[in-house]
Chain A
Amino acid sequence: MIEPSTVVARADLELITLAQQGDRQAFGELVRRYRERVIGIVYRMCGDMQLAEDAAQEAFVRAWQQLPRYQPHAPFQSWLYRIALNRATDVLRADRETANVEDLPLVAPDIGPEAAAERNALHEQIRRAVLDLPEASRSVLILREYEGLSYKEIAETLSIPLGTVMSRLNYARGRLREWLSPWLEEKV
């Protein structure tokens, strides 16, 4: 399990300070560092890679605009994730029909077509199960299961109480266990 640090790494902080003063190169370095995680979160939220990349770019542009108001005592990661999640929510609102089943992930070439089909079916099932969760519990689940954030960090990111983090996570896991039960039992 990953336990990301709650404090902003020193180098990050320097880049943030420079970026706050208008240094685009420093901000570019921050984009490079957080790109993958931000895209990942947005992808898990909306289930479409193209949308996710566009929304992630917009999230970074928004972060640049809002950076002067960022206070370094709050974790930068939480602050950035919040912007990304808000952007993902906007995208979902604007494009409800994107949750349909297309755009399957590429199949690894070294497995047979049957195994590939099976694996794709599993990936798809998981993706859809996550997407079928209500947005509120989906974001908590993504931050916990895929980003490894602590409850406290999730609470900060989403501006919700710790108890709400726990109840939403419990709800999300309960639903997923129900929906994905064939795959969970199979492995016994």
Chain B
Amino acid sequence: MSEHVQRELEAYYDGQLHGTQQKRVATHLETCAECCAELTRLERLSALLQEAPVPAARLAPERFTTQVRLQLQPRDVPERRRHHWAIPALLVGAWSFMEAVWLVSRGLMVALALGLGERPEMAWFNPNRGTSLWQLLQGMESGWQGALSLFSFLSSTLLSTLLPLVLLGSISILFWGWWLAWRPHEIKNGNR
């Protein structure tokens, strides 16, 4: 008689053996009363366990399902779509940064105009180094040199005014572009 199969018997009983392993146990069981009895005990235990029923549920199936559904929170936007919000968030962030810079620089200019810039420790900050448009216009009389400094004054003023406008414009164009492109998706998915 072949060796007993006690060790594999449980897996055999649970249908977890395949191929030669399964065949070997089956062949052994044909001739071994001892292992057969062990198999019967496993079967009997399963049958006994099945005799203890799950009691009837208190809630009818529909009631149960409804109660679960009432507790379902609208889900967070799935990760796949979450980064689409990063675009406008980034744009709004950039816009706020620009606004803040603009406000601070205006504030400083006002401060300088009020004479705070005359303090020696602030003097380095004054972009015009004490020159005013009036002084520059007066300087026109002194020929090329004066014209050049007037030109540089005007161009730097223009640049400092136009650059924020251009940046703000492009930020808002990108934002509204996102709004038109993605909002319909968001609304559709959100209404499910």
| Chain A residues within 8 Å of B, Cβ to Cβ | 1, 3, 20-24, 27-28, 31-32, 35-36, 39-40, 43-44, 49-50, 53, 56-57, 60-61, 64-65, 67-68, 103, 105-106, 122-123, 126-127, 130, 144-146, 150-151, 166, 169-170, 173, 176-177, 180, 183-184, 187
Contact = CB atoms under 8 A, between A and B. Distances in A.
Given A21-B192, A32-B61, A39 B54 contact: yes
Given A22-B192, A60-B68, A170-B10, A126 B15 contact: no
Contact of A22 (B16, B42, B59, B74): B74
A61 to B, nearest CB: 5
B10 A169 contact: yes
Contact of B72 (A27, A126, A183): A27
A35 B51 contact: no
Contact of B48 (A56, A150, A183): A183
B151 to A, nearest CB: 60
Contact of B10 (A53, A122, A146, A166): A166
Contact of A24 (B42, B44, B72): B72
A122 B51 CA distance: 8
A183 B52 CA distance: 13
Contacts of A50: 58
B69 interface: yes
B135 interface: no
Interface string B120-143: 000000000000000000000000
Contacts of B33: none
Nearest to A59: B68
Given A53-B57, A68-B76, 15 more contacts: A21-B78, A21-B192, A22-B78, A28-B69, A31-B64, A31-B65, A35-B65, A49-B54, A61-B68, A67-B75, A68-B78, A122-B52, A123-B51, A123-B52, A146-B49
B174 to A, nearest CB: 27
Interface string B33-67: 00000000110111011111111111101001101
Contacts of A183: 48
Interface in B148-192: 189-190, 192
Given A22-B189, A166-B10, A176-B45, A68 B75 contact: yes
B3 interface: no
A126 B51 contact: yes
A27 to B, nearest CB: 7
Contacts of A57: 64, 67-68, 71
A90 B153 CA distance: 73
Contacts of B52: 122-123, 126-127, 130
A68 B95 CA distance: 33
Contacts of A64: 72-73, 75
B79 A28 contact: no
B66 to A, nearest CB: 8
11 contacts: A21-B78, A22-B189, A24-B72, A40-B54, A57-B64, A57-B71, A103-B55, A105-B53, A126-B49, A130-B52, A184-B45
A49 B64 CA distance: 13
B11 interface: yes
B69 A24 contact: yes
A8 B11 CA distance: 24
A126 B48 contact: yes
B14 interface: yes
A1 B15 contact: yes
Contacts of A144: 14
